[in-house]
Amino acid sequence: MKATEKPGSTAIIPPRQPIYLEGPKSRSYELGFALRVFWQFLKGFRKLHFTGPCITVFGSARFKEDNQYYSKAREFGKRIAEFGFATMTGGGPGIMEAANRGAFESGGVSVGCNIQLPFEQKPNPYVNKSITFEHFFVRKVILVKYSYAFIIMPGGFGTMDEFFEILTLVQTKTVTNFPIVLFGKEYYQPLMEMIEWMVNQGTISKEDLSLVLLTDDAEAAMNHIQTYVKSNYTIKPRKRFWWLMEKR
């Protein structure tokens, strides 16, 4: 049976072109790829340079409006707007839509960093600023670059990827000690037990447990974030240059 066949089925799903598994391509192709990546970064930098400080909310794209975590994410968007920060998400449906919606409906700044996917992901209607990226690694840099804190709502592989990348950056002091909130005790308790098991095995330090706040309380989460932000970060005004066509 071919890798693309399902048991009991004769249907064959054509794989996506394995661009990254082919090894080196022609020099002209590699140059073009580097330029496309550079352009995506530049587009993101230009779009968000004057947005102001953000708090990024991560979570599943699959939750519907009647889900309890959708309601909580919407509340976070509202609270972030009241705090005077922009709400940044991956720009798609589910938790991302909910957080953007809470900010949007409260008159706050709502930012979506969308990704091109063949399914599931499409821009939600509750964003003031929206950017669509071709590559995940570019998108993740932007989601981190403009954020002063991170709220991780329940989610799947993508959410875990984003959570552990941010956690690694903070643990290794690659970025300043930004607050990370895991929201949803029941959902994330098994994960925290796994992280504690890592401590027991000596693969991470006991101090690393303090890098994450696990909570079910939105107010406690925001107080945790505000304490870090007020104590550690300053917001510098950015001047606009007419010769760069930076309009007000």
Closest of 186, 193, 183, 190 to residue 214, by C-alpha: 183
Domain for residue 93, yes or no?
A: yes
pLDDT tens per residue across span 48-88: 999 989 999 999 999 999 999 999 999 999 999 999 999 99
Q: Which two tokens stand for residue 228?
A: 């870090």
Q: Which residues pair with 131 in a beta bridge?
A: 113
Q: What are phi and psi of 86, to 5 degrees?
A: -85, 145
Q: Which stretch of 122-131, 207-216, 222-231, 236-245 has the lowest confidence by average pLDDT? A: 236-245
With bands split at pLDDT 50, 70 and 90, how would you rate the model's confidence at 119?
Answer: low
Residue 231's pLDDT is: 77
Contact 174, 167 (CB under 8 A): no
Give me the CATH number covering residue 153.
Answer: 3.40.50.450
Domain for residue 10, yes or no?
A: no
Domain for residue 152, yes or no?
A: yes
What integer best gives the mean pLDDT of the chain?
A: 88
Is the pLDDT reported for residue 165 higher than 90?
yes
For the segment 220-244, the average pLDDT, to the nearest whole number, is 83
Domain for residue 240, yes or no?
A: no
Q: Which domain holds residue 59?
A: 32-233
For the segment 180-205, the average pLDDT, to the nearest whole number, is 97
Is the pLDDT reported for residue 170 higher than 70?
yes
Query: For residues 91 and 101, what is the distance between their CA atoms, to the nearest angstrom?
Result: 11
Burial of 72 (0-12, 13-18, 19+ CB in 10 A): buried
Closest of 6, 147, 156 to residue 89, by C-alpha: 147
For the segment 91-108, the average pLDDT, to the nearest whole number, is 96
Is the pLDDT reported for residue 124 higher than 50?
yes
Q: Which two tokens stand for residue 152?
A: 């991780």
Is the pLDDT reported for residue 225 higher than 80?
yes
Domain for residue 174, yes or no?
A: yes
Closest of 54, 231, 52, 36 to residue 133, by C-alpha: 36
Domain for residue 15, yes or no?
A: no
Residue 74's pLDDT is: 98
Domain for residue 64, yes or no?
A: yes
Residue 2's pLDDT is: 41
Question: What percent of the chain clears pLDDT 70, i.e. is strictly above it?
Answer: 89
Spatial strand order in the sheet of 212-215: 129-133, 110-115, 86-89, 54-58, 147-152, 180-183, 212-215
* Count of structural domains within the chain: 1
Domain for residue 8, yes or no?
A: no
Question: What percent of the chain clears pLDDT 90, i.e. is strictly above it?
Answer: 71
With bands split at pLDDT 50, 70 and 90, how would you rate the model's confidence at 164?
Answer: very high
Is the pLDDT reported for residue 11 higher than 50?
no
With bands split at pLDDT 50, 70 and 90, how would you rate the model's confidence at 230?
Answer: confident
Contact 48, 42 (CB under 8 A): no
